A and B are shown apart, each in its own frame.
Chain A
Amino acid sequence: MKYQVDENGYYGSFGGAFIPEMLYPNVEELREHYLSIVREESFQTEFQNLLHDFVGRPTPLYLGKRLSERYGAKIYLKREDLCHTGAHKINNTIGQILVAQRLGKKKIIAETGAGQHGVATATVCALMGMECIVYMGEHDMARQRPNVERMRILGTKVVPALSGSKTLKDATNEAMRHWINHPTDTHYIIGSVVGPHPYPDMVARFQSVISEEIKQQLITEIGNPSPDYVIACVGGGSNAAGAFYHFLNDEHVKLVGVEAAGKGVDSGQSAATTALGKAGVLHGSKTLLMQTTDGQVVEPYSISAGLDYPGIGPLHAHLFETGRVTFLSATDDEAMEAGIELSRTEGIIPAIETAHALAVLSKIEFDKDDVVVINLSGRGDKDLDTYIKWGKY
């Protein structure tokens, strides 16, 4: 299991739990119990039932015929956009709220970028009758307004993060500060495979249902569980971790992560962490980070609020370093064009995060019978304003 976390919380040289002492009891409690909790039969029953009845899993694996014709391969879309609340994020929040309950926690906090994780957290908190606070960068609140209102309708308090670039990094800082100030009754539902150990591993496990289903579905579709490619966008990396998970040790499957190049990798306005980052410590783990030579974290940029993060999860840093996953990037314009293309070829308006994954179809040379799975991490409803502002359709 060379791509799994080791007993110290590391993926190769990345990971760990770099947290102030004030967070130690909380994180340690979680580390001690998360595996035994998720292995309990009662947990698994409740988790599976909710994924089935509430989230609507399994999500379809849909063969995009016109897209396949255009790119000369068999292109399947893993329809996470059809999950309740519109993205893969809810797979993780369902899992974590069940863990939080079993740890006896009374309150939930979360950070959010695009608002998808915030909505997914607000949703499970409403479902379980738990109090919820979501931190969101002030800038993201403006560009993802519908999600802010959805969280509020669901009874969640949305608190603007006013520091730094007022985006996901800053919302995460604020959520961590809140957790420091509320050390006993609160569980922090981190929204991606980032943060101190055991979060990256726990979130990857909850998202791994994506690749579990892909394998099953491919057996039915093509008589073989292994595709030639799996492609996913990477913000922190949770949808990619879930889509890659059960293929990591199957080295024939080419795995492709797509980061946001913003206005261009070298434009000074991007979020392409593997291209620009160096090893460092942020938000509790050692990972690849976009930073200055002085070690100050750079404020990233992407048109998509969910990819606008200066790091990637430690698992992905390790997958990058070992070469197991190929990382590509897509610019704002490439992503927007790919979003419009999917809308017109398959009748699916994708989230702008997801559109980044679609944008690399034109950058890879496929063989005619390559089986390609794209993780369609979310739907574009939340992004209408951005599509409208971009305007070229």
Chain B
Amino acid sequence: MNRIEELFSRKKNNILSVFYTAGFPTLSDTIPIATELEKSGADVIEIGIPFSDPIADGPVIQESNNVALANGMNVSLLLKQVKGMRQTVKLPIVLMGYLNPIIQFGVEKFCAEASAAGVDGVILPDMPMIEYERTYQQLFLRYHLLNTFLVSPTTSEERIRKIDAATKGFIYAVSSSSTTGAKGDFTLEQEAYFKRLQQLNLANPFLIGFGVSNKTTFATACRYANGAIVGSAFISHLRQQQGRNIKSFIDSIKLV
């Protein structure tokens, strides 16, 4: 069993997945941040592969991408770092990024090396389901990489069902029609959408992401979903604290 499947079979609620950008704030921070996240009680580690043109991201993650690229981060180095963190880290590791750096690295080579390094899954926001099924699915399956698709408030039920059927692992429910970034509390409209997802009784667990930034938003998300993903808020914390005090950040989100 893949570590993602293992996690979701064991834990159904309040799952905390934390996203950060590889090579940010400095090139050598990727491994210590993962180690600290595990110690602090995160459930999933999501590492962003930086890209020059992250169109689904708001200013905070755009900036972390720029810094990481200026620091010299790339796919090959990131996979070495993942291998390094696997000396201690047991949590599921998911890589999130845009397709182009992976295409240049070589999709098959990426799958083989990521899998060997201990990566469990990928989230590629600009790889739509149709392209996945046409081109990439076989490869990902062969190397036991679980692919997570996004759904958003404007995704039709019919399409959500299709995505559910094409998914192994978990579904990423984007909390609003927006790019990444914190936006304060969830609106009633957003909660209605979470509820709608909950009532679909999907075959896969789902995590809510985009705009989860504190205990309140995390708790709201966890009322409807199996857990939530924190990204921009953690990146802002890393920037302010130069990559330190991770435990205090996790404590400020996690439900006790």
* Stretch of B152-160, B190-198, B229-237 contacting A (4+ beta carbons < 8 Å): B152-160
Assembly CA distance A5 to B153 (angstroms): 30
State whether the Cβ of A19 lies closer than 8 Å to any Cβ in chain B.
Answer: yes
Assembly CA distance A16 to B62 (angstroms): 25
B52, B75, B104, B177 interface centre (most CB from chain A within 10 Å) = B52
A16-B131, A296-B51 known; A280+B125 contact, CB < 8 A: no
Q: What sequence of 0s and 1s flags, for each residue 130-174 of chain B, a beta carbon within 8 Å of any chain A beta carbon?
A: 110010000000000000011110111001000000000000001
Assembly CA distance A21 to B131 (angstroms): 12
For A291, list chain B residues within 8 Å (CB).
100, 104
- Contact indicator B154/A294 (Cβ below 8 Å): no
- Contact indicator B55/A295 (Cβ below 8 Å): no
For B19, list chain A residues within 8 Å (CB).
none
The count of residues in chain B whose C-beta lies closer than 8 Å to any C-beta of chain A is 39
Interface residues of A in 94-142 (CB under 8 A from B): none
- Contact indicator B53/A297 (Cβ below 8 Å): yes
B56, B130, B155, B156 interface centre (most CB from chain A within 10 Å) = B56
* Stretch of A82-90, A174-182, A360-368 contacting B (4+ beta carbons < 8 Å): A174-182
The count of residues in chain A whose C-beta lies closer than 8 Å to any C-beta of chain B is 35
For A16, list chain B residues within 8 Å (CB).
131
State whether the Cβ of B69 lies closer than 8 Å to any Cβ in chain A.
Answer: yes
- Contact indicator B104/A21 (Cβ below 8 Å): no
Q: What sequence of 0s and 1s flags, for each residue 48-69 of chain A, a beta carbon within 8 Å of any chain B beta carbon?
A: 0000000000000000000000
For A19, list chain B residues within 8 Å (CB).
126, 128
- Contact indicator B156/A25 (Cβ below 8 Å): yes
- Contact indicator B177/A22 (Cβ below 8 Å): yes
- Contact indicator A281/B126 (Cβ below 8 Å): yes
- Contact indicator A281/B103 (Cβ below 8 Å): yes
- Contact indicator A21/B174 (Cβ below 8 Å): yes
Q: What sequence of 0s and 1s flags, for each residue 172-214 of chain B, a beta carbon within 8 Å of any chain A beta carbon?
A: 0010011100000000000000000000000000000000000
Assembly CA distance A169 to B55 (angstroms): 11
Q: Determine how close the nearest CB of chain B comes to the CB of A348; give it in whole angstroms.
A: 37
Q: What sequence of 0s and 1s flags, for each residue 81-108 of chain B, a beta carbon within 8 Å of any chain A beta carbon?
A: 0000000000000000011111111000
Assembly CA distance A169 to B51 (angstroms): 14
For B98, list chain A residues within 8 Å (CB).
281
For A164, list chain B residues within 8 Å (CB).
52-53
A176-B55, A291-B104 known; A21+B151 contact, CB < 8 A: yes
Residues of A within 8 A of B (CB): 8, 16-22, 24-25, 163-164, 169, 173, 176-177, 180-184, 278-284, 289, 291, 293-297
Extra contacts besides A25-B154, A180-B179 (14): CB < 8 Å: A17-B128, A21-B151, A21-B155, A22-B152, A173-B55, A177-B57, A177-B58, A279-B103, A281-B99, A291-B104, A294-B101, A295-B101, A295-B102, A296-B69
A–B Cβ pairs within 8 angstroms, 22 of them: A8-B130, A21-B125, A22-B56, A24-B128, A24-B154, A24-B155, A163-B66, A164-B52, A177-B58, A180-B56, A181-B178, A181-B179, A182-B177, A183-B177, A184-B177, A280-B104, A281-B99, A281-B103, A283-B53, A294-B75, A295-B51, A295-B101
